[in-house]
């Protein structure tokens, strides 16, 4: 796990070392064990290293035998030893035991198609000096980040936006369309970011740059759906074997390794396989809050005791004034998932004991864990065909829009949503359900005329395209596929990467092994969720391997009590930040509407946790932007003086 950065000039001038050094300095938290650089004409590569494999010989940038190809790499390739044997048989000579070297030789042998042979999580850049080209690549599921920007005719790329911001050519102009999408979803969808000139390389994509020609290529996708007709027991056996192998592949490390352990079955299963493969008690870490609804320490302790792990726990009583700014700074753009806070704390605690940790991310998207969304979506598709014509759909939508809404609860009563969704096509219904804040409410926060049509959102097409392109006949499979491509790489995986790397901790996700993902989508919904039971196959596996009480406990989620914080101890801080005359976001946000939502939330008339938290994170980010770049007129963000974003 590392931080990578680089520049490629198109004006014929040589790259300057000072520029790439400044970019790498901004990534020191991702790689505290060393820095390296390579410059050749218009191209410069930089690397901040977190040493995991071959600590002595794996320094980067790294080249092939004759120095014609150079690589900077972030991640882990789990099949690097198999690749090494194959490449040596083709005549390649290796100088180190590093997985990085396997990639650069694989590029020599197979060109851009080398990514299709890599098993792991990765983001890398290869400078092919002989052909005067650069290849950027990102892993299949988007576990490792990679950003790129064309600034002043110079291509910049890096693991995090803050490295690109270190360039003297930085342009911090904000992307207003993406801000509306952020308010609805709580995050930015690749390839968009909060900045007009910065883009994320999408998962399973490569970007090749040669003689000013840029080619974006997708190299992997899920290709088979609903084709595995085996019984549940046979499939549990299959998942058992694949998950055991996936965990074993992720245990290679020359530094201490452990696991995040929540109270759920996904992380519990990962720990169970670790205990088997390691042959000794693994190191585990868990955090919780005083609020019982946000505390899974009890079931986590049961799993830890069952496998005799060396378990560390902490009941967090966070002081947001101490951690909020570091957390906001880690994301480089607004990010409204409050589970970043417990992830920050568990990463900090785990790093005291290990440098690598395994997690249970991915089980919900692949095996049907979001039952509160998937089952109503399935019901809507069945009922929609019986709703008579457009008049019937409009009537259902009208009734749903006026259905009583739950108080003191983060989501409206579900029947109202179902009725509203009957007036939409399935993709539109999926989008409306994915939004934490409905499109009309997000627009209202920006002072725009409200609309009930999801398709008017600037991110609607990005969200619904994977749903519409999915080849399954199952509404649940289509929703899971879209979640895998939209929600997972842009929210949970971003959260885990930034919070762990803020503490120089590497996270590996066995459930996101691409072979497990491909298997999961070959399994029909009726088998994955029989009679509406979420994650039936993983639960069947958990019944074999985990304490029964852990399996039967209701899912709580790894979240934070933001509603209570905003109504109680941090209400005055929110008011001072967001509703004051000095708020940096007040020319973008309708502060009178925010004030009404805040009053309703504090009085208990409604729960506006997400909207208020999203606006607060937007404001805290804007403050950091202005503090970091005062010479750029608020870094391109509206401020209280009446400035507007171009």
Q: Could you give the residue numbers annotated as active site?
A: 2
Residue with tokens 């390389």: 201
For residues 623 and 640, give the distance between their C-alpha atoms in angstroms, rounded to a whole number. 11
Query: CB atoms < 10 A from the CB of 156, how many?
Result: 26
Helix (H) or strand (E) holding 506: strand 506-508
Q: Is the dihedral of CA 525, 528, 530, 532 positive or negative?
A: negative
Among 209, 145, 227, residue whose Cα is nearest residue 496? 145
For residues 178 and 627, give the distance between their C-alpha atoms in angstroms, rounded to a whole number. 22
Report the DSSP pairing between strands 283-289 and 147-151. Answer: unpaired
Among 128, 131, 122, residue whose Cα is nearest residue 206? 122
Under a CB-based contact definition with an 8 Å cutoff, are residues 206 and 136 in contact? yes
Peptide bond into 251 cis (omega under 30): no
**What dihedral angle (degrees, nearest 10) is formed by the CA atoms of 58, 61, 66, 69?**
120
DSSP state of 174: B
Token pair belonging to 435: 């939004």
**What dihedral angle (degrees, nearest 10) is formed by the CA atoms of 97, 98, 103, 109?**
-20
Collapse the DSSP code of 121 into the 3-class scheme (helix H, G, I; strand E, B; otherwise coil) and give the result: strand
Query: CB atoms < 10 A from the CB of 327, how many?
Result: 21
Collapse the DSSP code of 606 into the 3-class scheme (helix H, G, I; strand E, B; otherwise coil) and give the result: coil
Query: CB atoms < 10 A from the CB of 624, how many?
Result: 16
Peptide bond into 624 cis (omega under 30): no
Sheet of strand 506-508: strand arrangement: 310-316, 283-289, 257-260, 356-358, 506-508
Report the DSSP pairing between strands 356-358 and 257-260. Answer: parallel
> For residue 80, which phi and psi values (nearest 5 degrees)?
-65, -30
- Cα Rg of the chain, angstroms: 24
Kindly report the length of the chain.
Answer: 646
For residues 196 and 151, give the distance between their C-alpha atoms in angstroms, rounded to a whole number. 11
What is 338-375 written as a DSSP string? TTHHHHHHHHHHHHTT-SEEE--TTHHHHHT--HHHHH
């Amino acid at each position: 796990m590392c931080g990578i950065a680089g520049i490629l000039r198109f004006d014929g001038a040589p790259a300057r070392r000072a520029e790439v050094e400044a970019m790498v300095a901004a990534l020191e938290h991702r790689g505290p064990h060393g820095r390296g650089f390579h410059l050749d004409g218009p191209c410069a590569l930089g690397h901040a290293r977190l040493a995991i494999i071959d600590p002595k010989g794996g320094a980067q940038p790294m080249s092939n035998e004759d120095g014609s190809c150079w690589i900077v790499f972030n991640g882990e390739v789990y099949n690097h030893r198999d690749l090494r044997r194959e490449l040596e048989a083709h005549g390649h000579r290796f100088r180190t035991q590093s997985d990085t070297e396997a990639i650069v030789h694989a590029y020599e042998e197979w060109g851009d198609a080398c990514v299709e042979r890599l098993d792991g999580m990765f983001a890398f850049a290869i400078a092919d000096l002989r052909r005067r080209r650069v290849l950027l690549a990102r892993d299949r599921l988007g576990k490792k980040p990679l950003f790129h920007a064309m600034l002043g005719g110079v291509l910049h790329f890096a693991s995090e936006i803050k490295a690109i911001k270190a360039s003297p050519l930085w342009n911090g102009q904000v992307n207003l369309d993406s801000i509306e999408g952020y308010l609805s979803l709580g995050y930015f969808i690749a390839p968009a970011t909060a900045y007009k000139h910065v883009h994320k390389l999408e998962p399973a994509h490569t970007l090749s740059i040669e003689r000013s020609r840029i080619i974006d290529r997708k190299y992997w996708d899920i290709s088979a759906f609903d084709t595995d007709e085996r019984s549940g027991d046979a499939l549990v056996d299959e998942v058992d074997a694949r998950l055991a192998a996936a965990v074993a592949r992720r245990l290679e490390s020359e530094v201490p390794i452990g696991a995040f352990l929540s109270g759920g079955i996904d992380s519990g299963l990962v720990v169970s396989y670790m205990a088997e493969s390691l042959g000794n008690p693994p190191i585990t870490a868990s955090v919780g809050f005083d609020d019982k609804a946000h505390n899974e320490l009890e079931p986590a302790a049961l799993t830890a005791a069952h496998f005799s792990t060396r378990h560390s726990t902490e009941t967090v009583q966070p002081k947001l004034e101490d951690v909020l700014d570091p957390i906001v700074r880690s994301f480089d753009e607004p990010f409204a998932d409050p589970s970043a806070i417990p992830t920050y704390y568990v990463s900090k605690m785990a790093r005291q004991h290990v440098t690598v940790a395994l997690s249970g991310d991915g089980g919900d998207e692949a095996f049907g864990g979001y039952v509160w969304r998937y089952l109503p979506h399935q019901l809507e598709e069945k009922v929609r065909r019986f709703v008579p014509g457009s008049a019937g759909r409009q009537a259902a939508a009208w009734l749903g829009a006026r259905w009583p809404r739950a108080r003191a609860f983060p989501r409206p009563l579900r029947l109202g949503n179902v009725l509203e969704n009957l007036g939409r096509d399935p993709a539109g219904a999926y989008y409306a359900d994915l939004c934490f804040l409905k499109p009309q409410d997000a627009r209202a926060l920006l002072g725009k005329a409200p609309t009930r049509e999801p398709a008017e959102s600037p991110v609607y097409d990005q969200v619904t395209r994977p749903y519409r392109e999915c080849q399954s006949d199952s509404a649940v499979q289509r929703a899971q596929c879209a979640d895998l491509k939209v929600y997972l790489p842009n929210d949970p995986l971003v959260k885990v990467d930034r919070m762990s790397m803020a503490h120089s901790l590497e996270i590996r996700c066995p459930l996101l092994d691409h072979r497990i993902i491909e298997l999961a989508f070959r399994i029909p919904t009726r088998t994955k969720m029989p009679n509406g039971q979420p994650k039936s196959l993983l639960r069947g596996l958990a019944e074999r391997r985990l304490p029964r009480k852990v399996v039967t406990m209701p899912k709580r989620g790894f979240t934070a009590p933001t509603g209570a914080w905003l109504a109680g101890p941090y209400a005055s801080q929110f008011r001072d930040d967001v509703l004051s005359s000095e708020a940096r976001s007040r020319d973008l946000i309708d502060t009178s509407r925010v004030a009404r939502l805040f009053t309703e939330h504090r009085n208990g008339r409604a729960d506006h946790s997400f909207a208020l938290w999203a606006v607060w994170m937007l404001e805290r980010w804007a403050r950091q932007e202005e503090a970091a770049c005062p010479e750029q007129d608020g870094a391109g963000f509206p401020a209280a003086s009446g400035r507007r974003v171009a």
